[in-house]
Amino acid sequence: MPNTGSGPAVGTGSGPAAEAARATAVGRGTIPPMRDLSRLPKAHLHLHFTGAMRLETLVDLARASRTRLPSSFVDGDPLRVPAGHRGWFRFQRAYDTARQLVTAEETMRRIVMEAALDDAAEGSRRLEIQVDPTSYAPFVGGITPALEIVLDAARQATILSGVEVAVVVAASRMRHPLDARTLARLAARYAGDAPGTVVGFGLSNDERAGRTGSWGPAFAIARRAGLASLPHGGELLGPEHVRDVVTALGPTRLGHGVRASEDPELLDAVVAAGISLEVCPASNVCLGVYRAADDVPLATLLEHGAQVALGADDPLLFHTRLTDQYEIARRLGLDDDALAGLARGSIRASLAAESSKRAWLAEVDAWLAEPDPVGDRPERRGPSAMQAIGVIDTRRPGLSGEARAPRPLSGPDPRRGGGRRR
C-alpha cells in the first residue's frame, strides 16, 4: 500500500536543505547510502521498438505529417488505464497512433539510435530491443528490409553509443500463428550473438488472444536456429498462464512474469528451471496490473531467488525509463547491495557474450565499492511521472532473501485474482 504518512521520508526532497538533512541522516546511519543509479552498470532486456521512441521524436513526426496527437502523449502525464479489455484497448490505440507515424527508414534508424543513447546515459551496457518488422514492412519494401534496417541501425548505434544493441524479433498474438512461423524463419536467417544480430524470438501483445500452444511451432523454428525463447506471460493473466507459456514455449526469459508470485510453488519451479523474469514496475502500474508501485511483488520474486531484469517496456507511453525502474525498486526498500544484485541479474540474463558479461559484472562491483555518497537525486527523472504511478516515499531495509527449495512445475494451479495486462 502507498505511504499515507503526513510527509515524505528523509532523503526524498531536493535542494540544499534536503541535501544537508540527507547527509546528516546517512552519517548517523539512519538511512542507507544511495549511489547514483544512472551510473550502475546494467542491461536493458525489455524495450519495445515503437515504445522506445522519444516524445520529441513523436512530436516531430506528427508535425511533419500534420497528425494531431492524443492528449495522452502531450499532457505530461504517463498513460494510466484500468485493467481489463477496455484499458488494453486504450493502451493499444495509443501505441498504434505512434506506430503509424513510423513510415520511413530514417525514422526507424532514429528510434534505435536514440534508444541506445538514452540507455547509455543510464548506465546500460546492453540493450536487447524487441521489434515486429511486420508493422513497418509496408513502408520499406517488406519484412526482410524492415528487419535489416533495424539490425544495421543496431550495429551503428553500438559503435556510436557504446551500448551493445541486439534485436529480439517478436511475433504478435493478434496475428495468425502462421505469420509467427514466417517471422521465426526470418529471425533464424539473422541469428547470432553479436550486436546487430537477432538473439531471440518473442511473443507479445494481449495475452488473452489465441491459444499459446499454437505458437509452439514458431518457437521451435527459432530454437533450432539457436535463438532464445522470450515470450510475454504472467502479467495480463495469472499463474495458469505462466504455466501454459512455460510448458508450450520453453522460455529462456519470461516477459513480465510478475503474477507467478501468486503461486509460490510455480514461482519456485520457474526459478529452478533457470527462467529469468523481465519485470517492468512502472508498466505494471500504468496498465492496471497493480494499483501502485509498492504493490509490485518484486520482494516476493527476489525472496524466491528469481533472477530479475528490470525493464522500461514502453517509455513513450509511461514516461519512465530504465533508471526509473531501479529508483522504484529503491523506494520499495532495496538497498545498494540489492540494487547491484538486480543489475547483475539483468547482465546474467542478457544474451551477450560471456566475456562482456564478466567485464560488466566487474563494473557493478566497482560501482558498489565506491565511497558512500550523500545520495542521488531521484527527482531528476521526472517526479510527476513517478508520483503518478504511486511510487512510495518510505524506505524499508534492503532485501537479501535466499532462494527457497525448488518444486516441480506441475504443482497446484490456483486461480487467483489480480490485474490484467499484456
Asked if residues 68 and 148 have their Cβ atoms less than 8 Å apart, the reply is no
Query: Tell me: the pLDDT tens digits for 370-413?
Result: 886 654 444 444 455 666 666 544 433 444 433 333 334 444 33
Mean pLDDT value of segment 236-244: 92
Rounded to whole angstroms, the Cα distance separating 71 from 73 reads 5
Rounded to whole angstroms, the Cα distance separating 247 from 410 reads 10
pLDDT tops 60 at residue 44 = yes
Residue 81 pLDDT: 74
Beta bridge partners of 169: 131, 201
Residue 419 pLDDT: 36
| Better-predicted residue by pLDDT, 409 or 244 | 244
pLDDT tops 60 at residue 414 = no
Asked if residues 357 and 350 have their Cβ atoms less than 8 Å apart, the reply is yes
Q: Mind giving me the DSSP string for 300-339?
A: HHHHTT--EEE--B-HHHH---HHHHHHHHHHTT--HHHH
Asked if residues 306 and 273 have their Cβ atoms less than 8 Å apart, the reply is no
SS3 content of the chain, % helix, strand, coil (to 5): 50, 10, 40
Query: Tell me: the pLDDT tens digits for 271-294?
Result: 999 999 999 999 999 989 999 999
Task: List Cβ neighbours of 258 (8 Å cut-off, separation of 6 or more).
Answer: 234, 235, 277, 279, 284, 289, 296, 297, 301
Q: Which of 207, 235, 262, 327 is catalytic?
A: 235
The domain limits of the chain are 31-388
Range in 79-83, 144-148, 330-334, 348-352 the model is least confident about: 79-83
pLDDT tops 70 at residue 310 = yes
Query: Tell me: the pLDDT tens digits for 68-102?
Result: 888 878 777 787 776 666 766 787 788 899 999 99
Mean pLDDT value of segment 128-135: 97
Mean pLDDT value of segment 115-134: 98
Question: What kind and span of H or E run contains 11?
Answer: none
> Helix, strand or coil for residue 204?
strand
Closest CA to 130 of 313, 344, 325: 313
Closest CA to 277 of 342, 363, 183: 342
Task: Give percent above pLDDT 70 in the chain.
Answer: 78
Mean pLDDT value of segment 32-53: 93
| Better-predicted residue by pLDDT, 9 or 227 | 227
Residue 43 pLDDT: 98
Strands 42-48 and 164-172, by their bridges, are unpaired
Length, in residues, of the chain: 422
Residue 34: which pLDDT band, with cuts at 50, 70 and 90?
confident
Is the domain spanning 31-388 CATH 3.40.190.10? The answer is no
Rounded to whole angstroms, the Cα distance separating 341 from 28 reads 25
Residue 93 pLDDT: 86
C-alpha distances (whole Å) from 113 to each of 133, 342, 399 are 17, 25, 35
| Average of per-residue pLDDT values in the chain | 84
**Cα end-to-end span (Å), the chain:** 23
Is position 402 annotated as part of the catalytic site? no
pLDDT tops 60 at residue 344 = yes
Closest CA to 293 of 261, 342, 330: 330
pLDDT tops 80 at residue 30 = no
Residue 373 pLDDT: 66
C-alpha distances (whole Å) from 87 to each of 82, 140, 262, 287 are 5, 32, 22, 7
Strands 124-131 and 164-172, by their bridges, are parallel
| Better-predicted residue by pLDDT, 266 or 12 | 266
Count of beta carbons in the 10 Å neighbourhood of residue 348:
16
